[in-house]
């Protein structure tokens, strides 16, 4: 079994997540793209952990998961607040920091 396959998969998922961030305008979908990127990284960590037989990789993946969860909480709370005040979830509408 070529473990590099998992890594390739992780790379593909990461790329797709990055493209989502750049291409979609709905804030929630952008956020999901970020989540996808984090997950891709997790996959890579777990794969490396298996390759080296070191559990540290899994521990790091565990931490990443936790932090991602916290991040989702805060991020979604922000999106909800913005929606409440602006009635829109398009990221392009939040451009008050222009210039």
> Which of the residues 10 through 39 are near another protein (CB under 8 A)?
11-26, 28-33, 35-36, 39
Q: What does the alpha-carbon distance between residue 34 and residue 42 come to, in Å, rounded to a whole number?
A: 13
Among 41, 85, 86, 95, binds another protein (CB under 8 A): 95
Tell me which residue of 70, 68, 88 sits closest to 79, measured CA to CA. 88
Minimum separation from the CB atom of position 67 to another protein (A): 7
Task: Identify residues 31-90 at the interface with another protein (CB under 8 A).
Answer: 31-33, 35-36, 39, 42-43, 46-47, 49-53, 55-56, 58-59, 61-63, 65-74, 76-81, 83-84, 89-90
Could you give the residue ranges of the DSSP H alpha helices within 1-99? 4-23, 27-52, 56-86
Contact (Cβ atoms closer than 8 angstroms) between residue 67 and residue 74: no
């Amino acid at each position: 079994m070529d473990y590099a396959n998992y890594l390739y998969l992780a790379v593909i998922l990461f790329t797709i997540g990055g493209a989502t961030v750049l291409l979609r305008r709905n804030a929630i979908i952008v956020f999901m793209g970020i989540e996808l990127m984090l997950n891709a990284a997790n996959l890579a960590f777990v794969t490396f952990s298996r390759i080296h037989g070191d559990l540290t990789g899994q521990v790091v993946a565990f931490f990443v998961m936790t932090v991602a969860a916290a991040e989702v909480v805060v991020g979604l709370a922000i999106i909800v607040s913005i929606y409440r005040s602006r009635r829109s979830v398009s990221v392009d509408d939040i451009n008050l920091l222009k210039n």
